[in-house]
Amino acid sequence: MADVEKKRILILTADAGFGHRSAANAIEAALLETHGADCAVDLVNPLDDSRVLPVLRNSGSDYDRLVRDMPDLYKIGYEISDALVPTAMLEGALIVMLYEVLGDVIDRLKPDAIVTTYPLYQSPLGALSVIRRQHVPLITVVTDLATVHHIWFNDAADECLVATPTVCDLALASGLEADRVHITGIPVHPRAIRETRTPAAIRHALGWSDRADVKTVLAVGSKRVGNLLGVVRALNHSGLPLQLAVVAGGDDELYDQLQSEEWHVPAHVYNFVDNMPELMHASDCIICKAGGLIVTESLACGLPLLLVDVVPGQETGNADYVVQGGAGELSPTPLDGLETLCHWLLGGGVVLAQRAENARRLGKPRAAYDVADRAWAAAQAGSGTASRLRPLHRSRLVALLRRFQVPKVE
């Protein structure tokens, strides 16, 4: 089919945290694999546009700084903004700040359907739909497992795709109709489920030990993970029959510290990797923070989680979901981490095997394909589909935008 005949699907994302971009990449890959002959996919971060105010454009770097240096302040801000009135105020500000940029993206790419993995685009897209009187089907993919900000649940979305029954209940409590909310899981890249080799074969290919009596512990850090090094050092001096694979996640300071470490167990140190699913399938458990992406990928790979960091508010629910589901433990200190792993390995690793089985039960490795199929169905319905928005006062939206001198308001 010629490109001009293909349906166009626009995926909107952002780089405030790794999860939004990774979910978008996963959806894009699944769409191209299953419907690539019939659709074109555009993946865009509107916040990269120079017209976007720095308060939004720099949200990724600001997020890193707040989470690592001022977690309590981040928690307070998260909880305050999650109330209904502040959320409504924020949505009004987002319409003003992003209306022109998102309008230009739509005019340039002319999508038949839109998928967003970032919540801040929904209100401006809803305003575009009302003011232009033309609705492009919108699918929102929520990228957290339990603790979800109210701003994710917006009437502009035709479908709200969530990870768990807990998030489904939150969406329904926010006022979204039941026929718009679907439990799909958080999308992980299709390559996460394509692996057919045994863990031992993958370890051999990676140059790791493939001995059956050595457990492989994968540790994943980043600039947002503060407790990883202490737990890794405790395991390094534990005398346990294990090998470590440690990924610094682009944190150069952590990578330098790992490089200078005197290792007493076999250790494989990386700064940044692009084959995380392969490393996960080669490992027996993972040490990480409670981010939506890393937790989702680990569960999809059936990997028990030893959680060493939790962003207050946003990630608390993710940690609770893992622990209550029996797929991992919260172990923020070196002693906690050592205690947990010793417990897991007792009796030949009986508890570790139980944690792995629970992780497989919680994981939804085919979520990206489910989202892709829904996006394709929406694109076939196409632009002009009746909007599901609650009644909005078009004149008030126009007045708001003109008051702030937003151009291209029709």
Q: Give the model confidence (pLDDT) of 308-337 as tens digits.
A: 999 877 788 999 999 999 999 999 999 999
Tell me the pLDDT band of 73, cut-offs 50, 70 and 90: very low
Q: What's the pLDDT score for residue 401?
A: 81
**Model-level pTM?**
0.84
- Among 110-119, 347-356, 378-387, name the one with the lowest average pLDDT: 378-387
The whole-chain average pLDDT of the chain stands at 88
Instruction: Evaluate if residue 64 carries a pLDDT over 70.
Output: no
Tokens read off for 409: 């308001």
Q: What's the pLDDT score for residue 315?
A: 86
Nearest CA to 20 out of 42, 40, 43, 54 is that of 43
DSSP element (H, E) containing 338: helix 334-362
Phi/psi zone of residue 207: left (φ > 0), alpha (ψ -120 to 50 degrees), beta? left
- What the chain holds in terms of domains, given with CATH numbers, is 3-188+366-403 (3.40.50.2000), 195-362 (3.40.50.2000)
Instruction: Evaluate if residue 4 carries a pLDDT over 80.
Output: no
Which residues lie below 8 Å from residue 55, measured CB to CB, with a gap of 6+? none
Tokens read off for 162: 């969530």
Q: What's the pLDDT score for residue 63?
A: 45
- Among 62-71, 323-332, 382-391, 395-404, name the one with the lowest average pLDDT: 62-71
- The answer to whether 290 and 252 have CB atoms below 8 angstroms apart is no
Nearest CA to 371 out of 132, 73, 115, 59 is that of 115
List pLDDT tens digits, range 202-227.
Answer: 999 999 999 999 999 999 998 878 88
List pLDDT tens digits, range 145-158.
Answer: 988 888 899 999 99
